Structure 1
Amino acid sequence: MASAEEIVLNAPHRPHANAVEAFNVVLHDIKAEILKSRHHWDRHEPKMWARAAGIADADLVAFTAERDLVEVRSAPTSYGTIILGKIRLPAVQDAEGAGYVHVRIHDPPNRGTEDVRFHSIWTDEGTRNADGHPTTWRAIQTEDTPLEFFNE
């Protein structure tokens, strides 16, 4: 498995057609994982998805790759390409502005997009106290949150 030290991500940029196509292959999985993560965290730490409080599940995942995939980065590895994407959640608009999720997918080599796989959604357990326990939780990012490598 790759780590931030082992890969070189390209600069953040607007998605090209091939990135949109790759995200469309796993769009259903991304939406299902957002809802699964939201329901899990709502039972354990509601702060993680707090920016989506009061938003219906169907509205939360009412996004498309063509319209709402706003930024991507990628890096080659020996086992394919890691692709990070910043997806706007149109239903999330609050005092912090628009809401976004950061998603990681993987495209193995030599087979086109047919074998693209969803990897994960970034759920930031940011700042930690002296005991090592998180004091901040954030699954919905702001526009200013940089799209960086994550391995969750």
Structure 2
Amino acid sequence: MTYRSIGELTPCQATKETSELGESHAPRQESIDAYNAIEHELKKQFIHLRRDHDKHEPESFAAARGVSDHDLASFSQDDFVLVRVATTAYGIILFGKLRLPALPGAYVHFRAFSEGPDDDALFHSFHTEDKEDEDGHKTFRTLFTEDEPLDWFDA
């Protein structure tokens, strides 16, 4: 698989309810190939996400304060530790979990898409979580732990 532009996504939108989401497992060759195809874009978009969140939701990357962009995005194929694959009517959605070597114990979840095993893979998004407390205060985060499950997310 190779990387394509996100603008080439099919207009269909998969949901958790309309897709068959497989169990979590270690990445197999097809998922590793997809990761390798989008690794550069993952790193680029991860740094972009950090910079954007630092402006508007700084707590989202609070654990990474003092870590350079280069070090934060120093993950590689070896750090791709978990995957879940969803089969949809129009392709395959890959949910991946990446260890962040610069932040021991920190992981990021990403989503990618391909129309099939022989087609180009493309990066879709990172999982960002926002929660609202009872008093209406919102908190944001993008960094997860090893124990947190890799579940369906839309953006």
Q: TM-score, normalised by structure 2?
A: 0.87
The one-letter amino acid paired with 1:116 is A
Aligned counterpart in structure 2 of residue 129 of structure 1, from 133, 151, 154: 133
Asked if 1:22 corresponds to 2:34, the answer is yes
Match of 1:69 among 77, 80, 92: 80
Work out the CA distance in 1 between the residues paired with 2:122 and 2:19.
Answer: 18
Give CA-to-partner distance per residue, 1:46-87, whole Å, 9 cap, x none: 10111111100100111112x100000001111110000000
Would the alpha carbon gap of residues 11 and 134 (structure 1) be closer, same or farther in structure 2, given more than 3 Å must change?
Answer: farther
The alpha carbon displacement at 1:134 in A equals 5.5
How far is 1:130 from its partner?
4.6
**Partner Cα distance (1:134, 1:151) in 2:** 22
**Counterpart of 1:89?**
100
Aligned counterparts of 1:38 and 1:103: Cα–Cα separation in 2: 14
Structure 1 gap ranges (5+): none
1:151 pairs with 2:154: yes
Amino acid at match of 1:49: F
| Counterparts of 1:89 and 1:71, CA distance in 2 | 13
Q: Choose 3-12 or 79-88, whichever is displaced more.
A: 3-12
Aligned residues: 143
Q: CA RMSD in A?
A: 1.4
The CA distance in 2 between the partners of 1:27 and 1:134, in whole Å, is: 35
For 1:84-124, what per-residue CA distance to the aligned partner results, in whole angstroms no more than 9, with x for missing partners?
0000010002xxxx1110000001126x25x1110000011
Q: Is 1:2 matched with 2:46?
A: no
Specify the SS of the correspondent of 1:90. coil
TM-score (norm 1): 0.89
